[in-house]
Chain A
Amino acid sequence: MPWDPILFRNHFPFFSNDLDITYLDNAATTQKNIETINSLSFFYSHFNANVHRGAHYLSIKATELFEDARNKIQHFINAKNSNEIIFTKGTTDAINLVAFSYIEQFCKSGDNIITTPIEHHSNFVPWQLAAKRKDLELRVIPFNTNNYTLDLEAFKKLVDNNTKIIAITQVSNVLGIATPVNEIIQFAHSKNIPVLLDAAQSFPHMPIDVQQLDADFVSLSAHKFYGPTGIGILFGKEKWLAAMPPYQSGGEMIDQVSIDHTTFNELPFKFEAGTPNYADAIAWGATIDFINQCDKNLMFGYEEELWNYAYQKLSSLPFIKIFAIPEQKHYGALSFLLDGIHPYDAATVLDELKIAVRVGHHCAQPLMSILGVSGTIRASFAPYNTKDDIDKLVEGLKTVYKFFNKNK
């Protein structure tokens, strides 16, 4: 049986509001399924109490549900142990945690960090700041704009005895392509260097098995895969997390506090200072249950079909430049520009046509600069999108082109 986008879409109340919006900005955030929304509302209405605090029934129940959610996400990404799952505000928060705590513990002046120029600012700026703070060097793996690949030979030459961590995205939020994480992890591990994977854009579009990947750290956000905003995780191998000092301090994360000394709580609580976002974590658990009921092969296969359909339709427009090599496999995002039309102008008219796409630099300015553009238009897909949505985008782009050309 093929994937049925309409059946799937029926789970998302956003689309039944007759807003008549063609939503193609899923890489920024996805819509939420009813099970997630209901779970949040049901929890607040029936069980709300702070977690890990009281001995009273509600607090125990809330704690159980919160820890259940941790287990669900643990199993979803196949982590060995639930204490390797740290709840964070999202990807950005998770990366900042590592860029602070790992660097604090393991780096000294003169060491270096390796990343790529295709990162989201979330996986670039924290390392840049860490490098400034600790006098480290930030090295960048060259990206070849002719064949859209990272130069692995150059990468190997960048690695030396002072390389302390490699931070790399698994899927580009602008180009929608995957990076060669297996090769990078294998090479890094041959030198005992840990690797952080930014899975913000891969998580919604491919199965993630952290043990199979053998990644040391993985960051991701719930909201890009039907889950609530304000919640995500850092996965970290226990051996690293245990050795790292806390990131923030306060309640929950301590063991004993005296006037002159504090000992810290065990993992994962050491890294979860303050009241955690347990309600959204619990709702995220409901999201995961929902996703687990879907046939992921069909779902991801359909996404690829949508991307290919979009590529084929868009590339037939004579006035478009698409930032993609169709032979590569793509995950969600498709970037392009219209000849002689500024992306902001295109987006303004598309907005009038009720087509939601993203324009600008997509928080990836280093990539924009090597692509030689100030920004792109990005359409990004989810399994509730249909070929009809893409046809509307194509018609919209024709309208945009006609509008500005008549006005030339």
Chain B
Amino acid sequence: MNNIELKAKQIEEEFSIFDDWMDRYNILIDKAKNLEPLDPKYKTPQYLISGCQSQLWLFCEQKNGRLFCKADGDAIITKGMAAIVLELVNGEPLDDIVKYNFEVFDKIGLHSHLSPTRSNGLRSLIKQIKLYAEAYLLKNKSDD
């Protein structure tokens, strides 16, 4: 089990105590509030992940083959979901991120938020993070 999978397991446990939807959303809102802020200079169209119903902004960089992301969002529930994504990927090796498929959202009963019809930008956020990871992987290979 790699580090992402370990963290996913912890998140699962965190949610498993509750089966009431209100409590699950409470966790998300807490996570949204504790998310490290994104410098406003990145809240521009270039960093926008557009969902039809809510917006997210994402900034990613790599340090020593590991990915570091920051994000913000206008809807707090979506932002909480983004916080989970970042919690999982931040500081992790690029190839682990490329391989991971975020089944954790299934396990914590929030999978419907990832459906393409939700159009909250979350799916696009995950896709974009993976693209960053792939792009850095490629770049690192050609730098070798």
Contact = CB atoms under 8 A, between A and B. Distances in A.
A375 B53 contact: yes
A349 B29 CA distance: 12
Contacts, number: 39
Interface in A339-353: 342-345, 347-349, 352
Instruction: Determine chain A's interface SS by DSSP, over half rule.
Output: helix
Interface residues of A, number: 16
Interface stretch (B39-47, B61-69, B72-80, B100-108): B72-80
Contacts of B75: 342-345
Contacts of A347: 53
B53 A359 contact: yes
A344 B29 contact: no
A375 B120 CA distance: 13
A345 B77 contact: yes
B25 A348 contact: yes
A347 B77 CA distance: 10
A361 B76 contact: no
Interface residues on B, range: 10 to 19
Given A360-B52, A374-B55, A342 B22 contact: no
Nearest to A407: B29
A404 interface: yes
A373 to B, nearest CB: 11
A344 B53 contact: yes
A309 interface: no
Interface string A368-399: 00000011000000000000000000000000
A44 interface: no
A348 B77 contact: yes
Contacts of B124: none
A14 interface: no
A360 B26 contact: no
A342 B121 CA distance: 14
Interface string B45-57: 0000000111100
A136 to B, nearest CB: 28
Nearest to B32: A407
B79 to A, nearest CB: 9
A71 to B, nearest CB: 37
Nearest to A375: B53
A407 B26 contact: yes
Contacts of A407: 26, 29, 76
B74 A342 contact: yes
B25 A360 contact: no
Contacts of A403: 22, 25
A407 B30 CA distance: 8
A249 B76 CA distance: 49
A344 B21 contact: no
Nearest to A341: B76
B52 A361 contact: yes
B25 A344 contact: no
A360 to B, nearest CB: 4
Interface of A: 342-345, 347-349, 352, 359-361, 374-375, 403-404, 407
Given A374-B74, A375-B53, 6 more contacts: A343-B53, A343-B75, A344-B54, A359-B53, A403-B25, A407-B29
18 contacts: A342-B74, A342-B75, A343-B53, A343-B75, A344-B120, A345-B75, A345-B77, A348-B77, A352-B21, A352-B22, A360-B53, A361-B52, A374-B74, A375-B53, A403-B25, A404-B76, A407-B26, A407-B29
Interface of B: 21-22, 25-26, 29, 52-55, 74-78, 113, 119-120
